[in-house]
Every structure is written in C-alpha cells, then in structure tokens.
Amino acid sequence: MAKNLVIVESPAKAKTIKKFLGPNYKIEASMGHVRDLPKSQLGIDIENDFEPKYITIRGKGELLAKLRKEVKKATKVYLATDPDREGEAISWHLLHSLKLEDKSTYRITFNEITKNAVKDSIKNAREIDMNLVDAQQARRLLDRVVGYKMSPVLWKKVRKGLSAGRVQSITLKLICDREHEINDFIPEEYWSLDAKLEIKETKDIFTAKFYGTQDEKVELKNEKQVKDILEELKGKSFKIAQILEKERKKKTVLPFTTSTLQQEASKKLNFTAIKTMRIAQQLYEGIEIKDEGTIGLITYLRTDSTRISDEAHNNVIEYIIEHYGETYANRDHSQNKKKEGVQDAHEAIRPSYVHLSPDEIKGSLSRDQYKLYNLIWRRFVSSRMMPAINIVKSVKIDAGNYRFTTALTTQLFDGFLKVYKEDEEKEDKQSISKLNDTSKLKKMEMLDEQHFTQHPPRYTEASLVKTLEENGVGRPSTYAPTIATVMARGYVSKENKQLFPTELGEIVNEMISSYFDGVIDVTFTASMEKQLDDVEIGAMEWKDVLRNFFPNFEKKVKIAEEEIEKIELKDEETDIICEKCGRNMVIKMGRYGKFLACPGFPDCRNAKPILEKVEGVECHKCGGEVLVKKTKKGRRYYGCEHNPECDFMTWNLPTSVKCDKCNAIMVDKGKKLMCSNDECKNVVSKE
C-alpha cells in the first residue's frame, strides 16, 4: 500500500520514475499547469499592488479531484515537477489547488531521471523555493500586462485579433531592423586575382591568391587596377619567398546549453527550436529502451550552464579511454568554472548514461530522437577530449613587386574531432604539401574575377537564438516559444531557413517601436531579465519588478491610444469590381498583408491579391506598370505587370529616377539610389 504520493507533470516522466521508487510510492501526473491567470480578463488587480487572480485551468477540475483523492490516502506528498522556475511554480500552484498546506509536502528536483538522482532527491527533499516561484510570477505578470494592454492598441489601430508580447516584440524588431539594413545595403565591387602555378619538379598544380606588395596588403577595387597589375606581371617569374609551418590547436567544444543545442540542431539537423525542445523533452522524461526499460536519456534540457558533474566527468573519461585510447582523454576538469549571469546550479545538457552510445540504442528511438541524442552524446563525449592539432603551412610567393599567398592545413592529431565535427572541412590543396624552399614554379594562368560584397545575412532560427542570448534577451525556456509565436502570428515568415518580416509584421513593429521605445527594446528587456534573476536569488522583491515597470509603460499605452492615426486599414474601397457579384472590392489586412476582398462577405466570398502599382514608375524594359508583389511566404518584391513576358524584378522599392549609365530603374537604398540592373549596379546619392 503506497504511503507516498509523487506528482510530476507528464505520464512519461511518471513511468520513468516509478521503477526507481518501489511500491511505497504512487506516481501521478498533473498534465502540466493546473492554475493560471484567467484568459478572459487581465487577472491582475493593479490597484491592489498587482495582486494576481489565479484560477483553475478549464478542464483540469476532474484531474484535480482525482489528485485530491490520492492526496487523502497519502502520508507524504512529493512535488517533482521540472527543476526550473516554471517547474517550481507548477508545484506551488499544485500546493494551493490540492490544499497541501497542512500535509507533509516536499519539493524534490532532479537534473536527470536516473535511479541515483531520483533517490538522492528524496533524501534532499525541501520546501518550495518561493524565490524561484516569484521570479516566474513576475515574468508571467509582466508578459500578461504587456500583452493585455498593448494588444488592444493594435486592434484599434491595425486589425482585430492581433497580439503583441514583450519578448516577441523585441524579436520582431531584430528581424525588421535586419531587413532594413539589407534594403539599405549597397554592394561594393571588389576583385580577386589568382595565379595558377605548377611545381616544375613534380608537375603538381596549385593556386595562390593575390595578397599585395611585399610590404603591404592591397585591396583590389576595380578592373583597371587588376589589369594594370596583370600588365606589370607579364614576363615576371614566380618564386617561393617563404614557407612557414606552424602548429595550431583547434579548441575542444563545450557541452550543450539550450541555446547552443538549438543552434546546432538547426544547422545540422534542420530542426526548428520548438522541435528540438519537444524531442529533447522526450529524451529527458524517459524512453522505453530494449532490455533496459523506460529510462531518461539526457539531463534537463533548459539550462545555460556548461558545467558537468564530477561523476559524469569521471564516467566519460573512462569511456573515452576505453573506446578511443588514453591520448584522447582530457582529464582537465577546470573548464567547469561558473559562467557570469548563469541562473542556477544546472548542468550542461548531456547523456545520463554515457555508455549508452547512440548506435547501441538506435533501435529503440524514433529517427528524430536518434538524431538529437546522437548530437548531444557526441558533443558531450568530445567536450572531454583533447584539442585537435593541425599543421598550417603558409607559403609566400613573389612575382615582380607583388606577393601571392597560399596555405595548407594538415591534421596532425584529430582529438575531439574524432567524435564531433563543427563544420565539414574541405581538403583539396594536397599538392601544396609537395612545395619546399627549392621548388621551381611555372605560371600556368592568371584568373581574375569581379565580386560584390554581400549584405548582412537574414537571421536564421539558429543565429536569432544566438543573438537573443548574446543580448541577454530571454532565457533558455523562452527562445523557442518566442520564435514560434512571432511566426504563428504572421509577423515573421521563413524562406529557405531565413526569417523576414511580413508586411503585417512591419506595420506592427513600426507602431511598437515608435510608441513603446524604452520599454520594448533590447537594452530594457535585458535589464528586466537581470531583475528576474535578482528575484530568483532573493535580492529583489518580485512585485518591485512590476512596480518599476508599470507606470512608465501605462503612460506610453495612453499616448499611443491617443496619438496613433488609424493606419489606413479600415476596409478601404477600391474601383475594382467583384467579378462574382458586382460590388466594389475593399482592401483588407490579412495574415501576410493586404489583399482584396468582396464586402459582400459572407454571401460572396471572393478574395484575391491586390494589384498595387508603384506610382510614377514605368518598367524600363517594356514600359509597363511596376507592381507590388509578394512571394508565397509573404515577402515583398516588385515586378513588371507583363511578367512572365517581361522579367523585370527587384527586391527594393523602384523610384522614378533612371540610371544615367544604362537607363534602368534606380531603386531605393536608404540614403542612396542603386541601379536595378545587376550588370551595372551604378550608385548615386539621393538629392
């Protein structure tokens, strides 16, 4: 007969824990949160010092009744939700909903679901940590206040049903800012000049790159400069000036944090951040492994620490020695020092049982589980291996007054790369290895090529997570949901892994950044996160976070409500006649921007894309109108009305100015105008 009740969030976790605790423990799942702020209203009594009004989440009544029955039968209750602020808050809500105040109730946490960790947690059972709960309450209430006060402004001014969030708005702003940078970017011309050379003795061929003169590096800016150099080089012989060989260490990678796991899973497995977290949660909670039963395969997945416990360190060193040999093991455990600003005593994300190699348990995992476990396992094992050692051979070659260079990297010792490769490295310059001080060279061919500098890349999920972390915006638990939210709301779209704002996203961002500057920006949001960290360690009272934030924010909401002109999105009538019913069609704002709809809705459901033309601009190729168009994913571009017969197309806003060199349309590049003709790329200042 069970005397002890353990409550966790999920049935999978319950199943994994069950076998460690024996018949005296009954395990039940709360199925996530049981109590929260109400959906239908703000749920915060602002007049009464931000007192939250929590209610039982709809549909959880029956479950709570069942849990209450179990509580009655038990002598002790253990709350074993996930080991972070949110988990602590779920336990605290359970305490209230189940009226556990008078019961012997304990909070237990484990960083991994293994027999030792679970048993230890019972030994170290404690009370609920109100600092952790309060940090979570402060975040929840902040987000609620911002969402519920800022969203109605959007409804009035843009479109019903839109919503704005605290961290999501920053994320949207980062993406919009990058898009503006890209729009304003003006490519600059540069040239490359390569010499294809033959080693006379061996007939091997290799390529050396133009460096400059013997004294300094020279940038190749234009064709004339390159042609002049080629002229000077005519008849000059190429000679080896110097060969240097240097040993270079390639530093071992650190084990995964939430942020680096999301970045690598995006790059290597093409997983979204949300998917990575979903699969990692499965690996953490427990998976049925053949001959082993249900076991938790990895440590807790929400962490910003790269620390590894002594026991795990010793185990992996043993594993490395056994499988790869003594020379690969890096016993140095000093990299374990605590990172500045890290939330808690969490560990890095690592396998719980290093001897369970990915290939050994492949048969028990789904394809995605295998891929992610493989990544985590390899990263962890390699993090305790020696650095790789490369020999870099760099060669300087002189011809006339000029210098060319080439280099070859040869691996001397693979070290951690045996288990984990960061990027695929290409090796093709084998013939350079045959070069020595006395080699004679023969010029085969000179290769010159024109290039243009590239605009900064759009964010990918991976680089966005990295940027959020670097700026101190958000925490391990928030990166994935934040990105998912801006996409679900139709503010941001993804094309070939690149994130860009939709027209709707631009409008929302424009409004938020002009009216909520100073409360919804990167610096301020980072300082809020810092305050939440202070609440967690008991250095700040949680309501102070709200008391500090609210007055200024409320002022901005008022100003925004009063000042913002309704952005012309009330159904503007057009002279386009609905071909189905004869009414004049209107412009509506949809998920991905404006479109034409019949006002007869719901009788007539006709809708179609807007044919919006760029006023005063005429296609230089055929004289047609230039139209605003959108890709399937909602990215804006401009094209000729006679497409596909006419192929004029540009990503930048066309202007009525024509290129003084080739007569093509000039497009808007912020402070400058650029020719839309890729072969011309003429740039002039805006007058």
Catalytic residues: 300
Name the residue nearer to Zn ion (CB basis): 323 or 642: 642
For Zn ion, give the closer residue by CB, 312 or 619: 619
3-class DSSP string for 260-324: HHHHHHHHHHCCCHHHHHHHHHHHHHCEEECCCEEECCECCCCCCCCCCCHHHHHHHHHHHHHHH
Fill in the DSSP letter of residue 49.
Answer: T
**Least CB distance from residue 687 to Zn ion, whole Å?**
17
Residue 677 binding Zn ion, by CB under 5 A: yes
Report in angstroms how near the CB of residue 669 gets to Zn ion at its nearest.
13
Is residue 598 part of the contact set for Zn ion (CB under 5 A)?
Answer: yes
Q: Which of 302, 301, 280 is nearest to 369 (CA)?
A: 280
Contacts 24+ apart (CB under 8 A), 289-292: 289/356, 289/361, 289/364, 290/361, 290/363, 290/364, 292/356
Q: Does 455 bind Zn ion (CB under 5 A)?
A: no
Pick one of 421, 569, 682, 683: the residue that binds Zn ion (CB under 5 A). Answer: 682
Among 133, 283, 578, 597, the residue binding Zn ion under the rule CB under 5 A is 578
* CA–CA distance, 264 with 632 (Å, rounded to integer): 28
Span interacting with Zn ion, options 388-396, 542-550, 557-565, 676-684, rule CB under 5 A? 676-684
Residue number with CB closer to Zn ion (388 or 598): 598
**Closest distance to Zn ion from the beta carbon of 647 (Å):** 8
| Residue 234 neighbours by CB under 8 Å, 6+ apart | none
Say whether residue 608 binds Zn ion (CB under 5 A). no
CA distance 290 to 520: 50
Q: Is 119 in the site for Zn ion (CB under 5 A)?
A: no
Q: Does 342 bind Zn ion (CB under 5 A)?
A: no
Beta strands in 466-583 (DSSP E): 492-495, 498-501, 572-577
- Helix (H) or strand (E) run with residue 142 in it: helix 130-157
Q: Which of 581, 614, 683, 684 binds Zn ion (CB under 5 A)?
A: 581
447 vs 649, beta carbon nearer Zn ion: 649
Residue 245 and residue 393 in contact, taking contact as beta carbons nearer than 8 Å: yes
Segment near Zn ion (CB under 5 A), from 140-148, 292-300, 454-462, 600-608?
600-608
- Residue 348 C-beta-side C-alpha neighbours within 13 Å: 28
**Integer Cα distance of 53 and 57 in angstroms:** 12
- Residue 37 is a binding residue for Zn ion (CB under 5 A): no
Within 612-641, which residues bind Zn ion (CB under 5 A)?
619, 621-622, 624, 640
Burial of 245 (0-12, 13-18, 19+ CB in 10 A): exposed
| Closest approach of Zn ion to the CB of residue 686, in Å | 16
**Binding of residue 648 to Zn ion (CB under 5 A):** yes
Which one, 344 or 612, has the nearer CB to Zn ion? Answer: 612
3-state helix/strand/coil string of 604-665: CCCEECCCEEEEEEECCCCCCEEEEEECCCCCEEEEECCCCCCCCEECCCEEEEECCCCCCE
Q: Which is nearer to Zn ion, 208 or 587 (CB)?
A: 587
Whose Cβ is closer to Zn ion: residue 361's or residue 619's? 619
One-letter amino acid at 9 equals E
Question: Which residue type is seen at 193?
Answer: L
CB 427 within 8 A of CB 389: no
Instruction: Write out 107-139 in H/E/C secondary structure.
Output: ECCCCCCCHHHHHHHHHCCECCCHHHHHHHHHH
580 forms part of the interface with Zn ion (CB under 5 A): yes
Q: Does 662 bind Zn ion (CB under 5 A)?
A: yes
Contact characters 474-493, Zn ion, x per CB under 5 A: --------------------
Q: Judged by CB under 5 A, does residue 597 bind Zn ion?
A: no
Strands 205-213 and 239-250: unpaired
Q: How far is the CB of 661 from Zn ion (least distance, A)?
A: 5
Q: Is 273 near Zn ion (CB under 5 A)?
A: no
Shortest Å, Cβ 602 to Zn ion: 11
Pairing status of strand 649-650 against strand 636-640: antiparallel
Q: Which range binds Zn ion by CB under 5 A, 163-171, 277-285, 304-312, 599-607?
A: 599-607
Query: CB-wise, 155 or 637, nearer to Zn ion?
Result: 637
Under the binding rule (CB under 5 A), the answer on residue 289 touching Zn ion is no
Contacting range for Zn ion; rule: CB under 5 A; set: 47-55, 266-274, 483-491, 572-580? 572-580
Q: What is the DSSP letter of 520?
A: S
Tell me which stretch binds Zn ion (CB under 5 A): 77-85, 209-217, 390-398, 592-600: 592-600
Number of residues in contact with Zn ion under rule CB under 5 A: 23
> Which residues of this protein are in contact with Zn ion, per CB under 5 A?
578, 580-581, 598, 600, 604, 606, 619, 621-622, 624, 640, 642, 646, 648, 659, 661-662, 664, 675, 677, 680, 682
